[in-house]
Amino acid sequence: MTRLFGTDGVRGLANRTLTVDLAVRLGAAAASVLATEARATGPEVAPARPLAVVGRDPRASGEMLEAALAAGLASQGVDVLCVGELPTPAVAHLTAWHGAALGAVISASHNAMPDNGIKFFAAGGHKLGDHLEDRIEGALAEGTITGPTGAQVGRISRAPSEDALDGYVRHLLDATPGRLDGLRVVVDCANGAASVAAPRAYRGAGATVIELHSSPDGYNINDGCGSTHLDDVRAAVREHGADLGLAHDGDADRCLAVDASGDVVDGDQIMAILALAMRDAGELVEDTLVATVMSNLGLKVAMQAAGIHVTETKVGDRYVLERLREGGYSLGGEQSGHLVLPAHATTGDGVLTGLRIMARMAETGSSLAQLAGVMTVLPQVLINVPVENKAAVVSSEVVGDAVAEEEARLGATGRVLLRPSGTEQLVRVMVEAEDAHCARRVAERLAGLVTTV
C-alpha cells in the first residue's frame, strides 16, 4: 500500500486526491492517536477534553479543508481552536503555548495554489516521527474509529486573529538578539501565511519594511513570487536601495535572502552566517551545525575553517529535526532556506531566520554580502535521471565504481552524490567541483551511465 504521509504531511490536489472526506477521516484518526499519545506522556492531571490547534495558509481550498479537519477532530472528543491564517511555525508555537495535545496546519507550503496539504504536530509543537504517522495511517486504514456522544463531543471555536498573531510576533521579537534600526528590507511574503506576520515582526524589531506580494486573495499564493521565484524581490531591492531582501514561501517556514546588489544568499550561506553568530554568542551547542547531504561542499569547507563541525542527515527537514533533538544541537537547516533554531522554535521558521540575519548585520555593521562571503559556493550540477528501478541503480556495482573514480579525480574540492528520489522514479545525480564545466561534464557522464543500468 502506498504511504499516505510524505516528507511533510499529507499533500495532494485539493478536492481530488486531498478530499473533504479524507480530511474528516484523517482528523479523526490523528485525534485518536495523538490525543492518546498526549495523555500517556503528558501531565497526570489532564483537561476533560484534549485540545487541537488548527491553522492554515490563505489557499481558497483551506477553508473547506479546515472545516472538514476540525469536524474529524471534534468527532473524537477533541476541542478545536482554529487560529486562522498563520505561518506553520506560528501554529507549532501556539500548540506548545496552549498545552494542546496536537496541532495541525492546512498548507502545501511552496506548491502552487491548486495543491493543499495537512501537517500535524504532536504535543509541544513537534513534528511527528515515522512511528506516529504509521499509527495514524493504520487507524485510517482500519476504518473502525468510534467517537463519543453527547457532552463528550468536541467543541470548535475560533481564536481572535489578532490575539494569535500578536502572541506569535511577541515570541519572535523575544527571540531576536538586538534591534534592527537603520536596516531597510524588502520582504516578499509569497501572498501566503506570512503576509501580515512577517512585515509586523520586522517593523516591530525596528527595520524599515517594503512589502512585496503581501495581498493574498486565496488564489495568488506562490504565483510567480516568494522563495521559489526570486526575480521580483531582487529587482525591488535594487529599485529601493534596500540593504537586503527576504523571500518566504507560502507557509513561511522557509527564508531565502538577497543582498543589496540583488545576489541570492541561499540556505547554506544563511546557515554559515548564523552558525558564526551563534558561536560568537556562545549559543552554538558543541560548535556543531546540522545540515543535509545536499548542502554545498563550500559550507563544510567554511565551517571547518571556523572550527565548526558539520553533521549531515538525509534530505528532509524532519531528519534535520531528528538530529537536532538527538544531539541537543542548536542550529540546523537545508539549502532551501528551511532553518531550525530549537531554542526558539520546534520547526523551521522563516520569519525568525530573517530576524536573525538582520540582527547579525546590525551587530557587526556588515553588509549581507560581506557576511555571506565567509562561504564560497562551489558550482553544483543536479541531473534528475528517469529510471525503471531506483534500487537497482543505487546498488549497482558498476555505478558505484564510476562514482568512486570520479570522486577520486575531483579530490577534496569536489564530490558526487547519487540518490534515489523519495517520490518519483528518478535517480538524482549531483556533482560539485571548483569549476562549473567540470561539474557539468562529470554529472553528464554519470547520468548517461545511470540510464544504461
- Catalytic residue numbers read 109
DSSP letter string, 408-439: HHHGGG-EEEEEE-SSSSEEEEEEE-SSHHHH
Phi, psi of 184 (to 5 degrees): -115, 120
CB 442 within 8 A of CB 416: yes
CA-CA distance, 241 to 220, in Å (whole number)?
A: 27
Sheet holding 426-432, edge to edge: 380-386, 426-432, 415-420
Q: How far is CA 235 from CA 58, 256, 271, in A?
A: 25, 15, 24
- Taking each helix axis from N to C end, the angle separating 350-364 and 161-174, rounded to the nearest 10 degrees, works out to 40
Residue 120: all three cell numbers together: 500535524
From the annotation, which residues make up the binding site for Mg(2+)?
109, 249, 251, 253
β-pair partners for 415 = 432
| DSSP assignment letter at 18 | B
DSSP letter string, 369-416: HHHHTTSPPPPEEEEEEE-S-HHHHHH-HHHHHHHHHHHHHHGGG-EE
The alpha helices in 256-411, defined as continuous H runs, are: 267-280, 297-305, 317-327, 350-364, 368-372, 390-395, 397-410
Q: How far is CA 14 from CA 69, 71, 119, in A?
A: 13, 17, 14
Cα-to-chain-centroid distance, residue 344:
15
Residue 271: all three cell numbers together: 546557515
Cα-to-chain-centroid distance, residue 376:
24
Q: Which residue's C-alpha cell is 477521516? A: 25
CA-CA distance, 225 to 187, in Å (whole number)?
A: 11
420: left (phi over 0), alpha (psi -120 to 50) or beta: beta
In 135-204, the DSSP E strands lie at 156-158, 184-188
From the annotation, which residues make up the binding site?
109, 249, 251, 253
CA-CA distance, 349 to 89, in Å (whole number)?
A: 5
